[in-house]
Structure 1
Amino acid sequence: MAARQGIRVAMEAGFNSLLVETDSMSLFEALRKKRKPASPFGLILKDIYSLMSQCNQISFSFVKRAGNEVAHLLAKRSLDLEEQRVWLEEAPEDVLPFVAMDIANQ
């Protein structure tokens, strides 16, 4: 799941205070209610809880896909990649206008 991998990458980059946005209401609700279902989804949640315990601060917010266009575009773009890509200080050129809009709207 993207949220788990995003948290992992952020922590490996040295970030330990995180705000994680998700457009998955089921993930957001499960994290908010600290659910631990006995399912593959529950195993992902268990991993996320473990990562959370290593952060100084972490919070989650639900953002509709329309409000999270940058994440949606990067996820879509990743479908064509054979290996993991991480952009920390820059973004792909075709995504930059959406990054600028995201920053302007904060």
Structure 2
Amino acid sequence: MITLLRGLKMAKDSGLWPCEVEIDTQTIVNLIESPGSPLSDIGLVIKDIELFLESSPACTVAFIPRSANMVAHSLAKLGLSVDNDCFSEEDYPPVVVLFLLGDCLSLM
């Protein structure tokens, strides 16, 4: 959930706002959409996410099954092994092409 919060902050700071976020965890979407946040550290993160979303009603978070976006899942797994933040508006890591090709081949 912290990744989602950081992604929303990055999107807003980069001018990529409003945005549509698709995640593969229904539980997180349910927590964001339910009234009231849990009374825990997770609840604080959920509240921050809700505040971001309230600042732009056109911005949404939706559940999408992992099988519907394996490229995003593969990039998220890769991100777990990266120690620093990486962001580029023009270039993309070459590994993205490999993930996209793998996704295309799986459709054939």
TM-score (norm 2): 0.78
Would you say how many aligned residue pairs link Structure 1 and Structure 2? 103
Question: Using a 3 Å threshold, how does the CA distance of structure 1 residues 24 and 69 change in structure 2: closer, same or farther?
Answer: same
Give me the whole-angstrom Cα distance separating, in 2, the residues matched to 1:83 and 1:73: 18
Structure 1 residue 32 displacement after superposition: 2.1
AA at the equivalent of 1:45 = I
Extract unaligned runs of 5+ from structure 1: none
1:76 corresponds to: 77
Bigger drift between 91-100 and 24-33 goes to: 91-100
Output aligned runs, 1:58-97, within 5 Å: 58-97=59-98
**Considering only aligned residues, what root-mean-square deviation do their CA atoms show, in Å?**
2.3
Unpaired runs of 5+ residues, structure 2, are: none
Q: Residues 14 and 56 of structure 1: is their aligned pair in 2 closer, same or farther, counting only changes over 3 Å?
A: farther
Rg larger in 1 or in 2? 2
Q: Is the 8 A contact 1:16 1:56 kept in 2?
A: no
One-letter code aligned to 1:7:
L
Q: Which has the higher helix share?
A: 2
User: Which residue of the partner structure matches residue 9 of structure 1?
Assistant: 10
| 1:49-92: CA deviation from partner (whole Å, max 9, x where unpaired) | 12123225211210111212222122211222221112434432
Q: Distance in 2 between matches of 1:36 and 1:69?
A: 30
Question: Following the alignment from structure 1 to structure 2, what is the Cα–Cα distance between the partners of residues 34 and 99?
Answer: 37
Separation (CA, whole Å) in 2 of partners of 1:36 and 1:67: 28
User: Equivalent residue of 2:19, what SS?
Assistant: strand
Q: TM-score, normalization: structure 1?
A: 0.80
Residue 60 of structure 1 aligns to a residue whose secondary structure is strand
Name the % identity. 26
Compare 90-99 and 12-21 and name the one that shifted more. 90-99
